[in-house]
Structure 1
């Protein structure tokens, strides 16, 4: 979305209006928030994804489509929060003539735009500004039209980007923790759920730590029965109350819920549904990032894909435990650190020392 300076904005340009949509796309990498930006294909520099709406398309649809096309990520748009624009934001608010039903932009702003290959005249973009998140940011889900990167708040300050992107992006960085956490708080804690999660965790761990060197058919059947019962019980909890995060059952029981989900391998379709719910909880600060790292890897390894975090190991031909194939091995320790995990070499050594 190409914009021009205020000098290019005159009365004639204001009369030529084009509907656009943009997305300030955030992701949480452990405790650190980052903003997603694309490199502009014609003018260089970096900016948030966005573009013109298509005939018959509302701004919300355009925001999602443009983000997928330009970044490879599907955004989860956050509902409008009724915030005011920063005082130094350079563009005035401008409501569209006929706001489309169901759209959820945080703001609509009037941005002067110079001639481009599709619109040879000076004109005004009525830009519907959305705010979205990517809950599983390690690797896009599809191809991207443009170079894409995640930047921190400090990197944004000096980024070669339009002033409006830097000003509004900086303000939104401050709002993300509270905005994503909104609606997840539940009081009082569900103490019955907490106790049951801890009870099931204790039984699970006692059984696994007492497994004999050779697992008989009888023990294997008991193992499967325990995991299946825990999985079905957890499914009912999640269907009723959502992911059991800290706000619902406390830190220790939330950890227990993740453990039961890790052991739900006999129903992989549930794990694949739960990882998205867990990812939303992590974005909201309601679950541990390391939980998501483990479940992401478990699903990837089962699907014969490379894992991102190296949490899943197997025995090599020499009898030593080693991580199953890891994607981008050079960056794995940074990803692990972001998610509260020790280095891969330290983890692998600890696993071998304890076995």
Structure 2
């Protein structure tokens, strides 16, 4: 019995040890555009059919097969074996699954930019500094690159574009969920400012669904410099620690988890100054850790996001409901509602009175 437990322990260590390979083959599939090829074809395809559409003159079919075999094992693609009577030369076909549909670059909803950023060498380097963070404190991204992620983006246009695209794709996904469950929450507002809104994808989606809103997108100068024009949206270059444009409500998506409690309190106090005291509110989209809820399919992802904050931010973290309520109170918001969503984030609606 003890020997069986030890063997199972070894299995688990090897599974975790090579977990990075799952992410790497996912990135490989995205770079090759395999999901796009199958999606364009409209039906499952053989390896040779897929290879014929790859951006390569002489693709290695054997290598492609081994990549696809693992992706099938991980339920990213599905393999359809030929019927028994089709002969010895019949080939299996590979099709899309609910997972690989999120890897179609031109799909209405796609996670391709997120896959490319999180697996970029610049994003991966800080993960090698986690033990040093435990031993000495400090910021992993600074240790790896000599500057924080915001400063790095300011002088590295490629990474700035990757981060902005990753945030934009998640914005589209999460805003769709929000509008399905919270559209009424915007109905009485005349204006909304998205703080740290990147290139404006999230606020643009909200204003598109609620055209009565005046939308304001606030972010750093090098971020809004690459922002496209959206109908009903004004881009503002600024510093959220210094001043937030006035509006009926403040919207913050995946923002406060980037910052320490001290920084968040400063941001929240600026939010309070920006909104009308009698009816204004902040609308926060961020994870709410629920480690005691074992059946929550998103909790593992929330935990990984929390460690990602160690790797990529200066003191950021995911928070429990108790931590959120305390943080909001310290920032001047004594009342809040937490609304669960069918995604990794929850919606937190907070009021100054």
Higher helix fraction: Structure 1 or Structure 2? 2
TM-score, normalised to structure 2, is 0.25
**Higher RCO (C-alpha under 8 Å, 6+ residues apart):** 1
TM-score, normalised to structure 1, is 0.24
